[in-house]
Structures are given as C-alpha cells and as structure tokens.
Amino acid sequence: MPGSCTSRVIRMEDLDRKIVALLAGDGRMSFTDLGKATGLSTSAVHQRVKRLEQRGVILGYAALIDHTALDLPLSALISIRPIDPSQPDDSPERLREVPEIESCYSVAGDSSYILIVRVASPGALENLLAVIRARANVSTTTTIVLSTPYEHRPPALT
C-alpha cells in the first residue's frame, strides 16, 4: 500500500513538539505516560526528552506557586529607562542578582526593559525600586498588579 505509511506516521518534528507541549502543561508527567500519549516506547521518549533538554528546547522545570503562600502577595511590572543614554545599557546583568525580579524583557517602545517583580508589601516595593534605580542607573515606571486572572498558561498543543 504505497502512500499509506506516510499518512499515518507522525513526523519526528511533530513528536518532539507534542512532547514539549505535554511537558509544558504537566512538568511532572512520567516518561511512561508521555509514551502512551505519543505512541512511543518509554525509552524513546526518555531519549527525546534528554535531547530536548540538552539542545535547550526544554530550559527547565518549575512548580507554579501561589505567591501569596510564599509571603510575596504583591506583584508589579516595572518599566525602566536609562538616565544616561550614552552609557552602555547592561541593566539585565546589573539586576540579575536582585531576587525579587522574576522576569526581565528587553522591549521596543518608550522603555528599554520591563521587569516582573514579586514582593511582600508596598514598603518592600519601595525599597526594591530604590535598589533598581541605584544599581542600573535608570528611571522607573511601576504598574501594580491588582489580581491575576491567569498566568503561565502552556502553549497550545496544535
């Protein structure tokens, strides 16, 4: 039956994409269950996942946490702009050791970076802003997060 094979077989690329999407949705899924979901043997899945980790497609695994439970109930987005645009902008490196900063995005537009931060209180945010301004020599614009309808949703499996 010429042709019937290629129509049934899932291409390798798609298998990797499916594995990645499954793990993005459930980071603790076992290789055995991934195998059942993809039609591969446990070993084959194991091999592919390790390769995806090595190639940097899978960057790591994380538990998603309710930050209020960790005494970090206040989230904010902070836009930063260099005070002296003639200086080289190495803000991400200067701010890397600040543990309250969860994410740092380099952006087009009015600001150079947008940070997502998690702190315990308005007072802690005030202190954090002072630290950021001092360490990176930037001005800041802060947007307080009032609530989080949803976040960190996995990419669609298609």
Partner DNA sequence: AATGAAATAGTGCGATA
Partner DNA sequence: TATCGCACTATTTCATT
The helix (H) or strand (E) run that includes residue 116 is strand 113-119
Query: Can you read off the two tokens belonging to residue 19?
Result: 């594995």
Task: Give the rounded distance of the alpha carbon of 135 from its chain centre.
Answer: 24
- CA-CA distance, 46 to 14, in Å (whole number)? 16
- CA-CA distance, 139 to 14, in Å (whole number)? 45
CA distances from 52 to 8, 36, 62 (A): 24, 19, 16
Indicate whether 116 belongs to the interface with DNA (CB under 7 A).
Answer: no
Q: Which does 47 bind (CB under 5 to 8 A by kind): DNA, its own copies, none?
A: DNA
Indicate whether 20 belongs to the interface with its own copies (CB under 8 A).
Answer: yes
Indicate whether 33 belongs to the interface with DNA (CB under 7 A).
Answer: yes
Nearer to its own copies, 3 or 88 (CB): 88
Q: Are 119 and 125 spatial neighbours (Cβ–Cβ below 8 Å)? A: yes
Min dist. Cβ of residue 151 to DNA (A): 25
Indicate whether 41 belongs to the interface with DNA (CB under 7 A).
Answer: yes
Tokens 């309710």: give the residue: 66
Judged by CB under 7 A, the number of residues near DNA is 15
Indicate whether 103 belongs to the interface with DNA (CB under 7 A).
Answer: no
| Binder of DNA out of 14, 25, 26, 51 (CB under 7 A) | 51
Which residues of the shown chain bind its own copies in the complex (CB under 8 A)?
A: 17, 20-21, 23-28, 55-67, 69-70, 72, 75, 77, 92-93, 96, 99-109, 113-114, 116, 118, 143-156, 158
